[in-house]
Structures are given as structure tokens and as C-alpha cells.
């Protein structure tokens, strides 16, 4: 019986030892005091960590004012959009469009009237100036020969023509001057700008180019604040959660790979985070620790195609540090 117990204990120890060795190539172990420890430094050349696939520029959540009704959704999941494309129409859009059309019509009419008044004032000023020049020429030529009442009547007629020319010139300057322009033009444009702003408030446009990944509201619904999620899939990264003890070995430029459903995609480290936090990604291996202290490391993938099909997928990443000594950076 004693010999059988010894053999059973040895078998259990062998199984546990094998399991611990297998876990040793994928993450941290616990020492005799129950503390996490890294076995990477000096024992293997690469660092393996769980990662999440994301667009290089991140996920963009497009929101709208809570409590407003979505009238029409112009896109669906999988659509590619450009910056400025119309994504959705909100309640009040038709009324805002009518208001803008009315203000534009009013401004157009005012601009037309102002142009007509300016043309008439210019023509009157030119005609009055021409009549005055002709009258002055005649007076200079024959005025000296006139006497008494005839001279008085000629001077009065010249004076009246001159006053008319002055009034016509004043009307022209008022019609084309900056004060008139401020009143008719600036105020009218301000009304147009306000109406256009009200219309834009009922439209949601794409903030940048990308693909619609998820819609969070449907036509007819009253929004809770979120409309859709989109992202630029032309460049993809893997956000790896690297155990804190391995961070001193990693630096930007280190080569890396991720495994996406059996497809190996090469990349390189572009950023090493500076904040230590709790892991958000959990391994399916039941032997893996559930509470780790990690630092986020960004891996830029050389090919975006495989990753762009599985945004936010959890994948295995492998980083090959150029610093194999394990010393701090």
C-alpha cells in the first residue's frame, strides 16, 4: 500500500509539473508565497499575450442628443462611408429645411432689390452729373452776357441742377456704402446661418472615412444617445495585454505576430503603455490566472485584411523583444 501511494503521488507531481511547464510559455506563474512572477526573462526569447484586434485609429461611436427620434438611417452595417457622408436624419428635419428655404428666398429677394436700387442710383447720379456739367458749360459761356432777372434765373437754374447732382451722388454712396451693406447683407446672412445650423442639427454626418460596424438605433426609435459604431479598417492593430514583468524587455520597433484563426500576421510594436492595470482579456485555459497586472502594448499589423474581418476579436500575440537581457529601458 505504501509503495502504491508513493507511485500515485509521483504521478500527480508529474502531471502538475507538466501543466506548470506548459503554462510557463503562455503567462505568469505563482511563486511559493502565492505572488505572480514572470518566467520570461532569460528563459524564452518571445513574449506571448492575449490581444484584441482594433482599427489603428480606434472605434468611433457616433452619438446623437438623447431623447430625439431617428427618422431615417441612411447606412447599414458593412457600408463604407467617406467623411461628411449623411448617416441619419432626425426629427424636425423637414421643418428645418422649409425654414432654410424661406430664409434663402428672403435673402435672395433682398439682394435683388439692393442690386436694383444700386443700379438705379448709379444711373441717376451719372445723369445728374452730366446735366450739371452741360449747364455749367452753358453758364460759363453765356452767363457774362446776361443781366438783371435773366442772370438771376440762369444762376438759379444752375444751382438747382447742381443740388440734384449732389443728392443723386449721395443716394449712390448710401446704396453702395458699408453701412447699407452691413444692414442688408450681414443681417440677412446671419439669418441664413442660423437656419442652416438648425438644419444641420437634424442631420448626422460621418466624422471620418470608415466602415459601419454596428448600428445602435433604428428608424422610429427615440435615441438613448448612441447611433452607431464605425472605424477605419485600412490600418489595424492588436492591443496586447502584456504581463508587467515582461514590459522592460519590450520597446517600439520590436517585431511581433498575431494568430487570427490560424493565419499568422506579422507586425511591429508601435507603443508601449505607461499604465499598469488589471487584465480585461481572459484566457480560455482554466489554469490561467484570472487577475493579472498588465500593460497595454500596441502592435501595428502589416496586413489589415485578415484583422479587418474580426474587429474586437481576442487573439494570441507573440512579441520578439530585441532586448533579451531583461533589463529596464
Per-residue confidence (pLDDT) for residue 43, from 0 to 100: 40
Count of positions (residues) in the chain? 329
165-184 pLDDT tens trace: 888 888 888 877 665 444 55
How many Cα atoms are found within 13 Å in the side-chain-facing hemisphere of 13?
6
Query: If you write DSSP's letter for every residue of 149-210 in order, what string do you get?
Result: HHHHHHHHHHHHHHHHHHHHHHHHHHHHSHHHHIIIIIHHHHHHHHHHHHHHTTEEE-SSSE
Per-residue confidence (pLDDT) for residue 149, from 0 to 100: 85
Taking Cα atoms as reference points, which of 317, 313, 306, 324 lies closest to residue 257? Answer: 317
Whole-number Å distance between alpha carbons of 28 and 37: 6
Sorted by sequence, the CB contacts under 8 Å of residue 116 that are 6+ apart come out as none
- The radius of gyration of the chain's CA atoms, rounded to the nearest angstrom, is 40
Q: State the cell numbers at 276.
A: 499598469
Say if residues 94 and 70 touch (Cβ distance below 8 Å).
no
Cell 458749360 -> residue: 137
Cell 446672412 -> residue: 189
Q: State the cell numbers at 46.
A: 518571445
Whole-number Å distance between alpha carbons of 13 and 6: 11
Sheet of 70-73, strands arranged across: 70-73, 86-90, 203-205
- b (16+ CB within 10 A) / e for 129-166: beebeebeeebeeeeeeeeeeeeeebeeebeebbebbe
Whole-number Å distance between alpha carbons of 119 and 309: 64
Say if residues 270 and 65 touch (Cβ distance below 8 Å).
no
Per-residue confidence (pLDDT) for residue 184, from 0 to 100: 55
Neighbouring-strand partners of residue 276: 295
Q: State the cell numbers at 246.
A: 515582461
Give the residue ranges of the chain where pLDDT is below 70.
1-44, 177-185, 284-290, 324-329
277-299 pLDDT tens trace: 998 887 766 666 667 899 999 99
User: What residue ranges in the chain does DSSP mark as E strands?
Assistant: 29-30, 36-37, 47-55, 60-63, 70-73, 80-81, 86-90, 203-205, 210-215, 226-231, 236-243, 255-260, 263-278, 293-301, 314-319
Taking Cα atoms as reference points, which of 53, 56, 105, 96 lies closest to residue 311? Answer: 53
Q: How many CB atoms lie within 10 A of CB 40?
A: 21
Amino acid at each position: 500500500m505504501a509503495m502504491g501511494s508513493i507511485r500515485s503521488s509521483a504521478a500527480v507531481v508529474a502531471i502538475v509539473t507538466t501543466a506548470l511547464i506548459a503554462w510557463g510559455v503562455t503567462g505568469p506563474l505563482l511563486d511559493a508565497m502565492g505572488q505572480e512572477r514572470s518566467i520570461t526573462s532569460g528563459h524564452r526569447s518571445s513574449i506571448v499575450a492575449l490581444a484584441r484586434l482594433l482599427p489603428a485609429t480606434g472605434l468611433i461611436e457616433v452619438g446623437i442628443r438623447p431623447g430625439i427620434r431617428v427618422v431615417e438611417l441612411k447606412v447599414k452595417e458593412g457600408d463604407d462611408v467617406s467623411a461628411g457622408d449623411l448617416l441619419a436624419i432626425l426629427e424636425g428635419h423637414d421643418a428645418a429645411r422649409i425654414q432654410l428655404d424661406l430664409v434663402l428666398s428672403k435673402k435672395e429677394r433682398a439682394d435683388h432689390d439692393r442690386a436694383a436700387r444700386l443700379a438705379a442710383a448709379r444711373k441717376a447720379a451719372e445723369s445728374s452729373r452730366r446735366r450739371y456739367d452741360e449747364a455749367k458749360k452753358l453758364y460759363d459761356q453765356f452767363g457774362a452776357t446776361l443781366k438783371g432777372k435773366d442772370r438771376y434765373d440762369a444762376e438759379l437754374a444752375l444751382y438747382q441742377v447742381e443740388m440734384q447732382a449732389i443728392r443723386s451722388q449721395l443716394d449712390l454712396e448710401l446704396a453702395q456704402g458699408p453701412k447699407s451693406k452691413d444692414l442688408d447683407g450681414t443681417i440677412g446672412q446671419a439669418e441664413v446661418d442660423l437656419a442652416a445650423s438648425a438644419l444641420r442639427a437634424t442631420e448626422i454626418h460621418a466624422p471620418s472615412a470608415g466602415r459601419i460596424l454596428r448600428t445602435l438605433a433604428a428608424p422610429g426609435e427615440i435615441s438613448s444617445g448612441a447611433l452607431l459604431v464605425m472605424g477605419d479598417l485600412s490600418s489595424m492593430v492588436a492591443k496586447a495585454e502584456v504581463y508587467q514583468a515582461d514590459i522592460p524587455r519590450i520597446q517600439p520597433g520590436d517585431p511581433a505576430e498575431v494568430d487570427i484563426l490560424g493565419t499568422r500576421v506579422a507586425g511591429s510594436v508601435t507603443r508601449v503603455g505607461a499604465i499598469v492595470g488589471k487584465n480585461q482579456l481572459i484566457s480560455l485555459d482554466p489554469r490561467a490566472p484570472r487577475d493579472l497586472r498588465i500593460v497595454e502594448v500596441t502592435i501595428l499589423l502589416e496586413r489589415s485584411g485578415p484583422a479587418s474581418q474580426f474587429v474586437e476579436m481576442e487573439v494570441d500575440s507573440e512579441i520578439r523583444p530585441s532586448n533579451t537581457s531583461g533589463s529596464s529601458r
